Structure 1
Amino acid sequence: MARAQPHRYITAGFLHGGIVHLLLNMDSIRRMPDWLETGLGAGLYLSTFLTSIVTGHISHTYFDDFKSACLGASGGIMGLYGLMYVCLVRMGNSRAAWLVLRGLAWLLVYGFALGGISNAAHFGGFLGGVVMGILFGPRYRSSYALLRKNSLEVDNSPRDYRSVMGLGTKATSGIFPLSVFWAVCVLSLLSQPRLRSAPLMALRGLGL
């Protein structure tokens, strides 16, 4: 079905195997640090979430050799952790970055131990978030002006974002602007006949 209807790679992220599954994913999103959205921007946050849902489900599908279905937003959530990891590494916050990797490792251990959990989807979603972070996430540089008490440079960073970055660090633009990502997505949809109907089918699948 995924081969014939590729929109399922994203619509499956909005379906869950039961109320417990849904609540667990909602709680995982609730526990995300606020700076991941308020500091990095809602555009990058949402783009990473949606992209990682797709990469997570593609990873599950191919590692499972098209044998079983996969539902849930876990890939998107793991993608946000991947984005967080890249940002923390770029900030030089190695301790926090290590905690993200440790959390991923424990999640994979639980997946192997409990069953019914797609480690491939989790890992594929995480890698999707890492790629989004590398290409479109902010970079960071030292700013002497931010360390000066009477500096004219205004620090507009949210307080929790500043605490993670540390004093004297300033966020700058990524390697590519996010508009490049969406332009590539649109061009890919237009250039592939099989994908042109995917957005409309996705909206129908979501009941919109």
Structure 2
Amino acid sequence: MDYLVSKQVKVLVNIEGSMREISASLQYYSNYLLLVMADRDIRIPLSDIDTLQLQANELRIRINSAQGPQTFAMVFENKDEAKDLMSYLPLQKEAQESQSFMQNLDFSAKKTPVTTVIIALNIIVFFLMYGIEKLNIIQPKNLDVFIQWGSNRIFETIDEPWRLFTCAFIHFGLLHIACNMYFLHAIGRLSEKLLGPRFYFIIYIFSAFTGSLASLLWNSDGVISAGASGAVFGVVGMVGAFLVMRRDDVPPTAFKNLKNSMVQIVVLNFLFGTLVPGIDNAAHFGGLLGGFIGAAIMSRSLDPQKRTAQFIPKLILGLVCLPLICVGIWKSGLIQKKPIVTLNKISISWYDKKVLHLKGVNRHLTSFINGESTVDEMKKGIETHNVFWKHLLKQINSIEHDPKSRNYAEIIRIQKACEFQIQFQKEVLLYTDDKKKMNLFKIDKQKEWFRLLQ
């Protein structure tokens, strides 16, 4: 096999305890270097090269071989000769490619203003909400507050679709926002440089939307969903899409490191979300998919000279994805105004949530009767829980009432219970001027409620 490059050098070798220069021919092959001297040949595999150090016209090559670490010092005629050889060596080539990659990133976006603003907005909303509502910053318990501030729950989002976006700026405690903002700061800046601030912002908001939509599809029984994690997973999806669509723009070493990092983040977070209750993996998956799709459509080359519109491929990809998103919106019930749910999910919602809402209404009524709250506060509190019964009744009415069905008795039972609570919470407000009568009415209706459930 012919060598690719040949150089005449002086090699420093240890002869009888003293360092001497010996003339040699340095030949560069595709996978090794060969030092040809008068009395011996030394073969240096490129895979063994650890570090390169250039001082003036002297090049030191440190290798990790089976015999242990060794260093070869070679003196060239001039510094340019040494640099010329270094440009062929793998470590130097990777360093040049990585440097070019970082320069192109800086050209694309030297700063990351969008990531900074998004983090700032999340922090501002967090401290405003927790300060105004006087919530426990470590473990907040009043979930009604999160609904009032714009969290995503199907009961409210059906009529207030803006919650699909606002929920991405609301967090359940200090640990929740700290984790999300840490990952956003770590990965968001890279994504913003890869895509540019404008496209990055558009895809971030789109990822928040797809994450919230996926949460509605999966959690149609009324789970409260909030947090930036869906959009943060979208940021991970952006990097993944860029690596797939623009692989030629990323050096092999950087590509391998980024790919491994993104895979680890996704796998560990989904595993954590599966093992730990209360984590919305549906929102994570929806955000990841949204970020990947958005970046696949909008990604562009980091090299300004290679940037082309590529309009047709992006148009085709967009036309394929748009119907899927429309189907998701339709299936979530945001257009139909009737979420598609099964009796099983309705029953789960009924058995899991009814006690919580019954206690909530009773707490607001008792607080008013004891003079601890105003009429407006009591009405507002009751209406928060009344939403549950109204929506559950809507779900029941969306199911066919076949008297021959084995589920018919269960449907009628839940239907009557919902109607009873809606009517009770309407009638009890007629006694706001007489707290004694209100208390007696409440006690009578509670007895009637228990008879209804028997």
The match for 1:191 is none
- Whole-angstrom distance in 2 between the partners of 1:172 and 1:115: 46
The match for 2:227 is 72
Match of 1:113 among 261, 264, 275: 275
Is 1:99 the counterpart of 2:261? The answer is yes
Tell me if structure 2 keeps the 8 A contact 1:48–1:128: yes
- Shift in CA distance, 4/109, structure 1 to aligned 2, threshold 3 Å: same
How far has the Cα of 1:139 moved from its partner?
4.9
User: How well do the aligned residues superpose, as a CA RMSD in angstroms?
Assistant: 2.9
Show the 5 A alignment for 1:4-19: 4-19=159-174
- Whole-angstrom distance in 1 between the partners of 2:175 and 2:209: 22
Counterpart of 1:31 in 2: which secondary structure? helix
- Shift in CA distance, 29/172, structure 1 to aligned 2, threshold 3 Å: farther
Quick one: which amino acid aligns to residue 87 of structure 1?
A: F
- Whole-angstrom distance in 2 between the partners of 1:78 and 1:171: 27
The match for 1:206 is none
CA deviations on 1:102-144 (whole Å, 9 max, x unpaired) are: 321111100011111111000000000011012112257xxxx
The match for 1:159 is none
Between 1:122-131 and 1:86-95, the stretch displaced more is 86-95
- Whole-angstrom distance in 2 between the partners of 1:134 and 1:121: 20
The match for 2:37 is none
Unaligned runs of 5+ in 1: 141-154, 157-168, 189-193, 196-208
Percentage of matched positions with identical amino acids = 26
Match of 1:123 among 277, 282, 285: 285
Counterpart of 2:220 in 1: which secondary structure? coil
- Shift in CA distance, 55/171, structure 1 to aligned 2, threshold 3 Å: same
Tell me if structure 1 keeps the 8 A contact 2:167–2:226: yes
- Whole-angstrom distance in 1 between the partners of 2:283 and 2:310: 26
The match for 2:58 is none
CA deviations on 1:70-107 (whole Å, 9 max, x unpaired) are: 00011111111111101012233552334313321111
Is the radius of gyration larger for structure 1 or structure 2? 2
Tell me if structure 1 keeps the 8 A contact 2:172–2:226: yes
- Whole-angstrom distance in 1 between the partners of 2:238 and 2:187: 12
- Whole-angstrom distance in 1 between the partners of 2:266 and 2:309: 27
- Shift in CA distance, 15/33, structure 1 to aligned 2, threshold 3 Å: closer
- Whole-angstrom distance in 2 between the partners of 1:45 and 1:3: 28
* Higher fraction of strand: 2
The match for 1:144 is none
How far has the Cα of 1:19 moved from its partner?
1.7
Counterpart of 1:6 in 2: which secondary structure? coil
CA deviations on 1:23-68 (whole Å, 9 max, x unpaired) are: 1111111111634213421111111111111110110111112420
- Whole-angstrom distance in 1 between the partners of 2:207 and 2:188: 18
- Whole-angstrom distance in 1 between the partners of 2:162 and 2:229: 17
Tell me if structure 2 keeps the 8 A contact 1:87–1:139: no
Counterpart of 1:67 in 2: which secondary structure? coil
User: What is the TM-score of this pair, normalised by structure 1?
Assistant: 0.66
- Whole-angstrom distance in 2 between the partners of 1:29 and 1:123: 16
Q: How many residue pairs are counted as aligned between the two chains?
A: 157
Quick one: which amino acid aligns to residue 27 of structure 1?
A: Y
Tell me if structure 1 keeps the 8 A contact 2:205–2:231: yes
Is 1:22 the counterpart of 2:177? The answer is yes
Show the 5 A alignment for 1:27-38: 27-32=182-187, 34-38=189-193
- Whole-angstrom distance in 2 between the partners of 1:130 and 1:106: 18
Q: Runs ≥4 in structure 1, deviation > 6 angstroms?
A: none
Whose relative contact order is higher, 1 or 2, with alpha carbons under 8 Å and at least 6 apart? Answer: 1
Quick one: which amino acid aligns to residue 47 of structure 1?
A: I
Counterpart of 1:68 in 2: which secondary structure? coil
User: What is the TM-score of this pair, normalised by structure 2?
Assistant: 0.32
Tell me if structure 1 keeps the 8 A contact 2:194–2:242: no
- Whole-angstrom distance in 2 between the partners of 1:170 and 1:33: 24
Show the 5 A alignment for 1:1-208: 1-32=156-187, 34-92=189-247, 95=256, 96-139=258-301, 170=306, 172-173=308-309, 175=311, 176=314
- Shift in CA distance, 33/59, structure 1 to aligned 2, threshold 3 Å: closer
How far has the Cα of 1:171 moved from its partner?
5.0
The match for 1:204 is none
Between 1:52-61 and 1:97-106, the stretch displaced more is 97-106
